Structure 1
């Protein structure tokens, strides 16, 4: 496998849209995905890294700053996805390593993430990469 990790570009929108739809079951419109990518790539608080192989994005990770009044400064993984064809080849670990590098460079004390309760394979992946499960939470939302 000869993939490499780089920062996201707007040209990656189609592949990221497909990853979101096929791997994470989020059918968010491609036009809005493009707007989000443009904004997030310009943000100093966000990073999106992609894994590319043969000119195609086969995985990505998005993280941002996580700072609260009750805990040290961290990075927060908002999403990570790898194509089913490329899972279990170390690509997700390479993507996590990029976020970890950014966290170290930015003096964060660690990285946090939230993973759906039914995503047992993802949970095992995170454990294998040194992440620990600290507590259960309930996710509340209010839409407007």
Structure 2
């Protein structure tokens, strides 16, 4: 298994992995999203590629530039196939994202994780991340009539 940069040809497999987290997407949707992200130098996608099983995990990192804080890198998503968890894949993907952030000049990597994802919280703490705040997220659907 090896970590490599994501490619458009990975879109189908990224869909299946995203669905395991509860984020269903059609392959065309994922292809469009991935295409947009891969063209943006302030984003990176890494995948764990297994010769036998194909893509078994992915991570997305991107730069965040806000008025209230210094720029930082944020993990947009991390998922490892259920059958391949606890094998060090998530940690390797996170380290790839951290390397990208370091090279891009970011001094902090931030990850947000839903309150219900207790195992994920323990994973992040276990690889050196510290819990800094709790928050709620609000959306306004602009497509509603």
> 2: CA distance between counterparts of 1:35 and 1:107?
28
1:28-75: per-residue Cα shift (whole Å, max 9, x none)? 222111111111111111100000001600000011101112222210
Provide runs of 4+ in structure 1 moved above 6 Å: none
Shift of 1:91: 0.3
Instruction: State the aligned residue count.
Output: 141
- Look up the SS of the partner of 1:39 in the other structure: helix
- Cα shift readout 1:113-140 (whole Å, capped 9, x = no counterpart): 1100000000000000111111110101
* TM-score for both structures, normalised by structure 2: 0.94
Aligned to 1:18: 16
After TM superposition, list the pairs within 5 Å mapping 1:1-144 onto structure 2: 3-21=1-19, 23-54=20-51, 56-144=54-142
2: CA distance, partners of 1:63 / 1:100:
8
Q: Normalising by the residue count of structure 1, what TM-score does the alignment of the two structures yield? A: 0.95
Alpha-carbon separation, structure 1, partners of 2:98 and 2:134: 23
User: Which runs of no fewer than 5 residues in structure 1 stay unpaired?
Assistant: none
In structure 2, runs of 5+ residues without a counterpart are none
1-structure distance, mates of 2:23, 2:69: 30
Question: C-alpha root-mean-square deviation of aligned residues, in Å?
Answer: 0.9
